[in-house]
């Protein structure tokens, strides 16, 4: 996604809101970011729900809106919805063009960025290990950005995700050669995000995260989360968790072929292996039983800021 393409799409600010799935980033957040001049993204949901969210965002803004697609979970209907968006952002899976329009693939390594470029991606996102949510990076974001830019032709646009919370971070990313900054945790901490209110309170108070596979039933992929009662109970022996939990998560990997739905896990007590984070309609107990996705930047974010104001602050 070159700066020229950003301009052609009507994206004035080099600020992209990450597509946080499972119902965290819905039409309210995406539309608010886009309407303020950035690029808002609707997070991955079931195909019917995703289509409904895109339609709702269109009613709120005439500016471009992106949708996020988790390739291992996607169905044909997901790709049909993605084709209707202004930008399709894919994560995980083998990079492959599935939409006729603008396609961006998020990468955790140089090899993945090269594969996305060979597959015809219009841009790639370099996501560093400090990012919140699911990541398979082993390098810090700026280091990964440098290596990806060196490995790809100079005209391939690279966006940066991870470690970005303030205007200075955006400026540093642009100086390092990124065409835009991608923010998840910061936009999760907005009134427009659909994170559970108690989850937002934990984010405001949060100072420490852990990279784990604890909440990986059905999708045993590394993810960065805030510490809560579940992590304190199950990660005493290290961030990977006990062997029985890892075995159970691996056994549930076959469920990755099923589409994610914006479902509320039924239990509110004890331990949940589900990767679904607590959203507004979730039971309050899930805040201590499920994943509280957050990047390392959570330690530098002091409060909840409306999405439009945030875009203005970040873009200057």
Going through the chain in order, the beta strands assigned E by DSSP cover 15-17, 40-42, 65-70, 87-91, 102-107, 123-127, 133-134, 158-161, 181-183, 209-212, 223-226
Q: How far apart are CA 299 and CA 209, in angstroms?
A: 9
Confidence check: pLDDT of 265 > 50: no
Beta bridge partners of 134: 223
**What is the reported pLDDT for 253?**
58
The answer to whether the beta carbons of residues 20 and 184 sit under 8 Å apart is yes
Q: How far apart are CA 170 and CA 96, in angstroms?
A: 29
Render pLDDT for 272-296 as a digit per residue (tens, 0 to 9): 678 899 999 999 999 999 999 999 9
User: Strand 40-42 to strand 65-70: parallel, antiparallel, or no bridges (unpaired)?
Assistant: parallel
Confidence check: pLDDT of 145 > 70: yes
Q: Which of 209, 210, 221, 268 is nearest to 246 (CA)?
A: 221
Determine the average pLDDT of the residues in 21-48.
97
Of 297 and 1, which is predicted with more confidence?
297
**What is the reported pLDDT for 270?**
46
Domains belonging to the chain, first-starting first, are 3-191+302-315 (3.20.20.70), 197-297 (no CATH)
Render pLDDT for 232-245 as a digit per residue (tens, 0 to 9): 998 988 887 777 77
Render pLDDT for 87-121 as a digit per residue (tens, 0 to 9): 999 999 899 999 999 999 999 999 999 999 999 99
Instruction: For helices 47-60 and 27-35, give the axis angle rounded to 10 degrees.
Output: 40
The answer to whether the beta carbons of residues 309 and 194 sit under 8 Å apart is no
């Amino acid at each position: 996604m070159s700066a020229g393409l950003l301009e052609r799409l009507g994206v004035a600010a080099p600020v992209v809101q990450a597509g946080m799935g499972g119902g965290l980033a819905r039409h309210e957040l995406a539309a608010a970011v886009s309407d303020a001049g950035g690029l808002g993204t609707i997070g991955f949901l079931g195909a019917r729900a995703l289509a409904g969210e895109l339609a709702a965002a269109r009613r709120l803004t005439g500016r471009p809106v992106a949708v996020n697609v988790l390739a291992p979970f996607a169905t044909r209907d997901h790709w049909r919805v993605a084709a209707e968006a202004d930008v399709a952002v894919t994560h995980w899976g083998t990079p492959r063009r599935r939409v006729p329009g603008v396609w961006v693939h998020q990468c955790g390594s140089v090899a993945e960025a090269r594969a996305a470029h060979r597959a015809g991606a219009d841009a790639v996102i370099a996501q560093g290990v400090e990012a919140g949510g699911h990541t398979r990076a082993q390098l810090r974001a700026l280091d990964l950005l440098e290596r990806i830019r060196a490995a790809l032709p100079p005209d391939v646009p690279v966006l940066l995700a991870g470690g970005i919370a303030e205007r200075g971070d955006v400026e540093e990313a642009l100086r390092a050669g990124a065409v835009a900054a991608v923010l998840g945790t910061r936009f999760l901490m907005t009134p427009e995000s659909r994170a559970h209110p108690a989850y937002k309170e934990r984010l405001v108070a949060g100072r420490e995260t852990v990279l784990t596979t604890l909440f990986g039933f059905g999708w045993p992929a590394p993810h960065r989360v805030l510490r809560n009662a579940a992590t304190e109970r199950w990660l005493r022996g290290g961030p990977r968790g006990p062997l029985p939990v890892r075995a159970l998560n691996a056994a549930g990997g076959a469920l990755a072929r099923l589409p994610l739905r914006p479902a509320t896990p039924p239990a509110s007590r004890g331990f949940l292996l589900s990767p679904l984070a607590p959203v507004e309609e979730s039971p309050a107990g899930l805040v201590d039983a499920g994943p509280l996705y957050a990047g390392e930047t959570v330690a530098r974010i002091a409060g909840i800021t409306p999405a439009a104001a945030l875009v203005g602050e970040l873009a200057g």
